[in-house]
């Protein structure tokens, strides 16, 4: 049966909005591909052995209006209560111009990771602002462009300190007893598989290396992690501790609150080597735990050790400053099992929001907010003390801890009745955290729960304690001073967004990344207060709606994948991989086979796979790729045999990263199972499987999915993401859990892998809405058209560029690899040249040199219509003709349009010494002058930027001609 237009079949109406090609387009494209029907195409492309017997049995599709009504109903089951819980999550006011201009603006949220710097200058500038903001507030030299959350940033700091100190095998990490409990738990989850011992200790009075060694049980210490201010609210002077750590050859990392740092002496000034934390309270709603941008900053000398992405300043072909991602060679996609971190997708959109919050408020504005917060906390402490309550003694910023022997539960309940959530520390202790949104009514209600009333009001209060008072300046760069009126900020946001190429301009044909439609209806609910303003540790009875949504989505993901249990906690694909491998590890340990530690990974795998395996304490053994691109089964057989005793798992991507449905997958699963190993299927390519095959049924034991690829969460310019891990029953006991939420995972779980129980829960309504709008049939139809679109591109381009791999009948799966290697050899034209020339044609480049160097990988997705696919194919064919001119000797490659691409408006207006004319350079075939995308900079010099590393905002003079 041929599926045709949704309007003429049983397909849901929304499927016709989500899927690009119309019915007659589908027919025409099938003819080009040489297949009689969609069914025939899939029957030929997908091995019969893996086709799922049943369809996808999720709730029948509903209309956009109906889905919004259902979301309203779910939202209504959440109760938004003023939060004074603290612990790294605070109420914050998102300036509405930022909410609408960034968070709700497709020009920002539909952008891809800025690997192509020429079309990403806007978000790179925003990220550089973020780095500058973090570096200056922490008083450390270099900050990265975001991590996943505070707890995982602390775990990254641990491994950084371990590497940088070349720690001895028995050296330990000492963690401050006042660190946030979720941070201690995540750090412990990450330490365990690496064989690192974590000692939680009271560090008060530790002022020598001997004393430090003593709290570490007499062992060497490689790192110390402190919380500043502590979970109890107190600011501690860590100068002596830091000196002691350094004396012991250890490094010290401080988990620090950026808002507090506007008032108090920052970690860099008291000697910390590293600072980590969250930027949530800089205008990013709590969202029941995420997403928010975590940060990590280091002192000079450690910048080349930073995990994750780092924006740097370089120059373009005209010598003008231009931004780019720096030191890419550190990253997992290059270093694989030698990588220092598996982080790939980070939190770009949220980092942009936080940086804009600083741009909007400037240093005085931030300081005023901090003084408001501090003032209210002083009011609380004074009133409690006046009422005879024992308040923890010491200097605090925003959090007051009260000792109320035997009364804590009652007081928290009384506060809840008055509309305020307090933190129940234990039966005798309550703490109260103040934030930007706290009003006098809130403080009054909180005090009323203690049967007390405020003794007086303080509007704002500077840090009164001189030893902690910050005197150094911060955010001095003009960018934090120039955009204070809403008009100015509005225009700044617009100016930056205009520099970038996102899905709202055209196709982003990235292999392995599934840049599909992020529908408006899917996006709407994330900013509703009932989802946005929930604290992740709020009482369960206040969060019924979001919990129901989480459960329902998890159930649908099980149905779609054929697995039995899902955890939505991992906040990126990389974290899902780590979680899945931890489950495998725990399973072997439970079976008395703790020695099973070898992870077989094909040479073609995504870099995160190998990096995650190492983080899970496994040894990576690489399996060769056969000449046809499939996993070399003979090599696999040999390696399985060789590791019969210590095989933990094989980690494969399906369909393969080469974009082919390998028909050997069931055999591969059986081989590994027979040898006692587990099968991990990287589910990032699930867009080629939904409704066709279920990994949980064709032999795999565990997969992670990427909701920011297959399930419509926008890429955000490089994050947020959600990377659920899905397992079969025998691994379900080893999924992540959370110390502060028993409902978030099995009691026997491996510990948390993210700070919040449900990770980036705030964006789950997007994927929930996608499944709800599409229904099982719509989801299956999307897969079919995704495969058709990829085969259509392959069919149209094959005679111009060799398609590297194909399966049965020359068909590919949902993406195809265009092989430029022979072209490069003959003409000198590189994949870079083609990628940059595509910018002149108004396209984002495909994925470059992954999984095979010298190739381009194209994944059109089902959302691109035939017109856009044709525009892309026509551009690629026209570029092939430009290459032919080089081959024919008509123009030297060094003088060609290809090599000088992309062409800027400035280059056009300046002196012109090229052998080709201006019009052909900027308005090549198919490009309309009135719809032209102008890249703001010429080709960016990567090597220069790495040699002259600059990772904060350059002075304005740098941009003068």
Burial 173-189 (b: 16+ CB within 10 A, else e): bbbbbbbbbbbbbbbbb
**Contact between 512 and ligand PLP per CB under 6 A:** yes
User: In residues, how long is the chain?
Assistant: 961
Residue of the chain from 438, 653, 737, 789 that contacts ligand PLP (CB under 6 A): 653
Residues 448-467 within binding reach of ligand PLP (CB under 6 A): none
Under a CB-based contact definition with an 8 Å cutoff, are residues 572 and 723 in contact?
yes
Nearer to ligand PLP by Cβ, of 215 and 669: the residue is: 669
Least distance between ligand PLP and beta carbon 113 (Å) = 8
Candidates 531-539, 557-565, 567-575, 579-587; binding stretch for ligand PLP (CB under 6 A) = 567-575
Nearest to 546 by CA among 781, 818, 756: 756
784 lies in the binding site for ligand PLP (CB under 6 A): no
Q: Which of residues 574-593 bind ligand PLP (CB under 6 A)?
A: 574
Given the complex with ligand PLP, which of 20 and 721 has the nearer CB atom? Answer: 721
Stretch that binds ligand PLP, among 9-17, 54-62, 404-412, 566-574 (CB under 6 A): 566-574
CB closer to ligand PLP out of 238 and 758: 758
Minimum distance between the CB of residue 684 and ligand PLP, rounded to whole angstroms?
A: 3
Q: What residues contact 943, with CB distance under 8 A and at least 6 apart? A: none
Contact call for residues 535 and 421 (beta carbons, < 8 A): yes
CB of 571 to ligand PLP, least distance (A): 9
| Binding region for ligand PLP (CB under 6 A) out of 74-82, 288-296, 570-578, 760-768 | 570-578
Piece in contact with ligand PLP (CB under 6 A), picked from 480-488, 558-566, 569-577, 637-645 = 569-577
Site string for ligand PLP, 285-324 (x = CB under 6 A): ----------------------------------------
In the complex, minimum distance from the CB of residue 607 to ligand PLP, in angstroms, rounded to a whole number: 8
Q: Which is nearer to ligand PLP, 92 or 783 (CB)?
A: 783
Cα(134)–Cα(488) distance, integer angstroms: 23
Among 426, 461, 431, CA closest to 446: 431
Rg (CA), the chain: 28
Of 841, 843, 842, 819, whose CA–CA distance to 831 is shortest?
A: 819
163 vs 166: CA distance, rounded Å = 5
In this structure, are strands 598-602 and 647-653 parallel, antiparallel, or unpaired? Answer: parallel
Q: Nearer Cβ to ligand PLP, position 128 or 572?
A: 572
- CA 1 to chain centroid, in Å, comes to 39
**Residues 779, 771: Cα–Cα separation, whole Å:** 7
In the chain, the N- to C-terminal Cα span, in Å, equals: 63
Q: Shortest distance, CB of residue 717 to ligand PLP, whole angstroms? A: 13
CB of 577 to ligand PLP, least distance (A): 7
- Most distant CA atoms of the chain, gap in Å: 91
692 CB contacts (<8 Å, ≥6 apart)?
A: 42, 46, 50, 51, 52, 780, 783, 784
Identify the bridge partners of residue 90 per DSSP, sorted by sequence position. Answer: none
Query: What Å distances lie between residue 449 and 80, 414, 421, 443, CA to CA?
Result: 18, 5, 11, 10
Q: What angle do CA 719, 724, 728 make, to 5 degrees?
A: 160
What residues contact 708, with CB distance under 8 A and at least 6 apart?
A: 345, 572, 573, 714, 715, 716, 719, 720, 721, 722
- Which listed range, 161-169, 200-208, 572-580, 590-598, lies at the site for ligand PLP (CB under 6 A)? 572-580
SS3 at position 311 = strand
- Give the pairing of strands 429-433 and 420-426: antiparallel
Q: Which stretch binds ligand PLP (CB under 6 A): 193-201, 356-364, 418-426, 568-576?
A: 568-576
Binding to ligand PLP by residue 160, rule CB under 6 A? no
Query: Given the complex with ligand PLP, which of 189 and 608 has the nearer CB atom?
Result: 608
What angle do the packed helices 764-797 and 866-887 form, to 10 degrees?
50
The footprint of ligand PLP on residues 598-637 (CB under 6 A) is 606, 608
Structure tokens at 696: 């949980």
Told to check if 277 binds ligand PLP by CB under 6 A, we report: no
Q: Which two tokens stand for residue 783?
A: 């897969």
Number of residues that bind ligand PLP (CB under 6 A): 15
* CA–CA distance, 468 with 473 (Å, rounded to integer): 15
Answer yes or no: are the C-beta atoms of 16 and 7 closer than 8 Å.
yes
**Closer residue to ligand PLP, CB minimum distance, 94 or 657:** 657
Tell which one of 12, 573, 629, 860 touches ligand PLP (CB under 6 A).
573
Which two three-digit tokens encode residue 622? 């690489």
Which one, 44 or 328, has the nearer CB to ligand PLP? 328
Which residue, 131 or 685, is less far from ligand PLP as judged by CB? 685
Q: Helices (DSSP H) in 841-890: which residue ranges?
A: 866-887
Q: Least Å distance between CB 638 and ligand PLP?
A: 25
Q: With respect to ligand PLP, which residue has the nearer C-beta, 585 or 715?
A: 715
Restricted to residues 316-375, the positions that interact with ligand PLP (CB under 6 A) are 344-345
User: Is residue 572 near ligand PLP by the rule CB under 6 A?
Assistant: yes
Residues of this chain, 665-684, that bind ligand PLP according to CB under 6 A: 682, 684
Is 567 among the residues that bind ligand PLP (CB under 6 A)?
no
Nearer to ligand PLP, 629 or 902 (CB): 629
Q: Give the per-residue contact string, 872-911, with ligand PLP (x = CB under 6 A; - = no).
A: ----------------------------------------
Q: Looking up tokens 């978000």, which residue turns up?
A: 123
Nearest approach, Cβ of residue 708 and ligand PLP (Å):
6
Q: Can you say whether residue 911 is alpha, beta or left, with left for phi > 0 and alpha for psi between -120 and 50 degrees?
A: beta
- Minimum distance from CB of 855 to ligand PLP (Å)? 16
Q: Which is nearer to ligand PLP, 356 or 692 (CB)?
A: 692
The residue among 266 and 570 lying less far from ligand PLP, judged by its C-beta, is 570
Q: Where would I find the H helices in 595-632? A: 607-615
Instruction: Decide: helix, strand or coil at residue 571.
Output: coil
Residue 227 or 608 with smaller CB distance to ligand PLP: 608
What are the φ and ψ backbone dihedral angles of 71, each rounded to 5 degrees?
-65, -40
Query: Phi first, then psi: what are they for 692, rounded to 5°?
Result: -110, -40
Contact flags string 715-744 toward ligand PLP, x per CB under 6 A: ------x-x---------------------
Element of type H or E holding 415: helix 408-417
Residues 692-711 that bind ligand PLP (CB under 6 A): 706
Output 148 or 497, the one with its CB closest to ligand PLP: 148
- Of residues 184, 173, 50, the one with CA closest to residue 752: 184
> How many whole angstroms separate alpha carbon 368 and alpha carbon 209?
39
CB-wise, 126 or 344, nearer to ligand PLP?
Answer: 344
Distance of CA 335 to the CA centre of its chain: 19
CB of 346 to ligand PLP, least distance (A): 8
Cβ of residue 667: shortest distance to ligand PLP, in angstroms?
Answer: 21
Question: Which range touches ligand PLP (CB under 6 A), out of 56-64, 387-395, 571-579, 799-807?
Answer: 571-579
Q: Which residue is nearest to ligand PLP (CB)?
A: 573
> Which C-beta is closer to ligand PLP: that of 283 or that of 659?
659
Which residues contribute to the site for ligand PLP (CB under 6 A)?
A: 344-345, 512, 572-574, 606, 608, 653, 657, 682, 684, 706, 721, 723
């Amino acid at each position: 049966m041929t599926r045709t237009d949704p309007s003429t079949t049983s397909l849901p109406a929304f499927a016709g909005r989500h899927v690009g090609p119309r019915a007659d387009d589908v027919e025409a494209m099938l003819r080009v591909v040489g297949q009689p029907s969609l069914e025939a195409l899939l029957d030929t492309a997908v091995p019969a052995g893996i086709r799922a017997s049943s369809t996808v049995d999720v709730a029948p599709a509903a209309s956009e209006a109906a889905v919004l009504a259902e979301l309203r109903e779910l939202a209504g089951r959440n109760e938004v209560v003023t939060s004074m819980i603290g612990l790294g999550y605070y109420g914050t006011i998102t300036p509405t111009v930022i909410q609408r201009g960034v968070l709700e603006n497709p020009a920002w949220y539909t952008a891809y990771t800025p690997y192509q710097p020429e079309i990403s200058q806007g978000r790179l500038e925003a990220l550089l602002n973020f780095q500058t903001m973090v570096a200056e507030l922490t008083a450390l030299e270099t900050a990265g462009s975001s991590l996943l959350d505070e707890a995982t940033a602390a775990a990254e700091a641990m491994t950084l300190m371990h590497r940088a100190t070349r720690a001895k095998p028995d050296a330990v990490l000492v963690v401050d007893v006042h660190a946030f409990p979720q941070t201690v738990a995540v750090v412990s989850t990450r330490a365990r598989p690496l064989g690192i011992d974590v000692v939680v200790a009271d560090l008060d009075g530790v002022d020598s290396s001997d004393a430090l060694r003593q709290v570490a049980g007499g062992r060497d210490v490689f790192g110390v992690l402190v919380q500043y201010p502590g979970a109890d609210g107190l600011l501690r002077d860590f100068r002596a501790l830091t000196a002691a750590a350094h004396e012991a050859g250890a490094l010290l990392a401080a988990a620090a609150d950026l808002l507090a740092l506007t008032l108090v002496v920052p970690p860099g000034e008291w000697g910390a080597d590293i600072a980590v934390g969250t930027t949530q309270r800089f205008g990013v709603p709590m969202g029941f735990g995420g997403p928010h941008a975590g940060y990590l900053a280091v002192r000079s000398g450690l910048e080349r050790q930073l995990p994750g992405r780092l924006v740097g300043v370089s120059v373009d072909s005209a010598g003008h400053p231009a931004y780019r991602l720096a030191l890419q060679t550190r990253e997992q996609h290059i270093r694989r099992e030698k990588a220092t971190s598996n982080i790939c997708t980070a939190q770009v959109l949220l980092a942009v929001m936080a940086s804009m919050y600083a741009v909007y408020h400037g240093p005085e504005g931030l300081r005023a907010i901090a003084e408001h917060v501090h003032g209210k906390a002083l009011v609380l402490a004074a009133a409690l003390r006046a009422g005879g309550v024992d308040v923890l003694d010491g200097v605090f910023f925003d959090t007051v801890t009260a000792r109320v022997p035997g009364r804590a539960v009652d007081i928290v309940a009384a506060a809840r009745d008055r509309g305020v959530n307090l933190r129940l520390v234990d039966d005798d202790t309550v703490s109260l955290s103040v934030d930007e949104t706290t009003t006098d009514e809130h403080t009054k209600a909180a005090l009323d729960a203690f049967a007390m009333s405020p003794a007086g009001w303080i509007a704002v209060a500077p840090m009164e304690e001189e030893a902690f008072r910050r005197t150094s300046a911060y955010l001095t760069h003009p960018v934090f001073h120039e955009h204070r009126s809403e008009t100015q900020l509005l225009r700044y946001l617009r100016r930056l967004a205009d520099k970038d190429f996102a899905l709202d301009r055209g196709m982003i044909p990235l292999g392995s990344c599934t840049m599909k439609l992020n529908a408006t209806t899917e996006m709407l609910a994330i900013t509703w207060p009932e989802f946005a303003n929930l604290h992740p540790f709020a009482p369960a009875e206040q969060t019924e709606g979001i919990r129901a949504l989480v459960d329902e989505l998890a159930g649908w993901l099980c149905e779609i994948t054929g697995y039995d249990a899902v955890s939505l906690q991992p906040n990126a694909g990389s974290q899902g991989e780590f979680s899945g491998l931890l489950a495998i590890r725990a399973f072997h340990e439970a079976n008395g086979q703790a020695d099973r530690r070898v992870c077989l990974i094909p040479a073609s795998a995504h870099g995160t796979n190998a990096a995650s395996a190492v983080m899970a304490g496994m040894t990576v053994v690489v399996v060769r790729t056969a000449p046809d691109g499939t996993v070399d089964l003979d090599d696999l057989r040999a390696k399985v045999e060789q590791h019969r005793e210590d095989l933990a798992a094989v980690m494969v991507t399906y369909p393969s990263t080469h974009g082919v449905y390998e028909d050997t997958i069931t055999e591969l699963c059986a081989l590994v199972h027979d040898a006692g190993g587990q099968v991990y299927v990287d589910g990032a390519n699930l867009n080629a499987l939904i409704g066709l095959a279920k990994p949980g049924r064709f032999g795999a034991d565990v997969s992670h999915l990427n909701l920011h690829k297959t399930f419509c969460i926008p890429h955000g310019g490089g994050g947020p993401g959600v990377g659920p891990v899905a397992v079969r029953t025998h691994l379900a006991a080893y999924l992540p859990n959370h110390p502060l939420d028993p409902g978030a995972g099995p009691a026997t779980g491996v510990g948390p892998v993210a700070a919040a129980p449900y990770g980036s829960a705030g964006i789950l309504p997007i994927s929930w809405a996608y499944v709800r709008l599409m229904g099982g049939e719509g989801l299956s139809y999307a897969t079919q058209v995704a495969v058709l679109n990829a085969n259509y591109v392959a069919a149209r381009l094959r005679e111009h560029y060799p398609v590297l791999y194909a399966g049965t009948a020359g068909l590919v799966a949902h993406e195809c690899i265009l092989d430029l290697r022979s072209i490069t050899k003959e003409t000198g034209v590189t994949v870079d040249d083609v990628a940059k020339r595509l910018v002149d044609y108004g396209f984002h480049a495909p994925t470059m040199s992954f999984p095979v160097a010298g190739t381009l990988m194209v994944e059109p997705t089902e959302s691109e219509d035939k017109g856009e696919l044709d525009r892309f194919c026509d551009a690629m064919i026209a570029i092939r003709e430009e290459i032919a001119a080089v081959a024919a000797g008509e123009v030297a490659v060094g003088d060609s349009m290809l090599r000088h691409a992309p062409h800027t408006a400035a280059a056009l207006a300046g002196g012109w010494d090229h052998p080709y004319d201006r019009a052909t350079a900027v308005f090549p075939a198919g490009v309309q002058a009135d719809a032209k995308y102008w890249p703001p900079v010429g080709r960016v010099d990567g090597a220069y930027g790495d040699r002259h590393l600059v990772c904060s905002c350059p002075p304005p003079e740098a941009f003068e001609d």
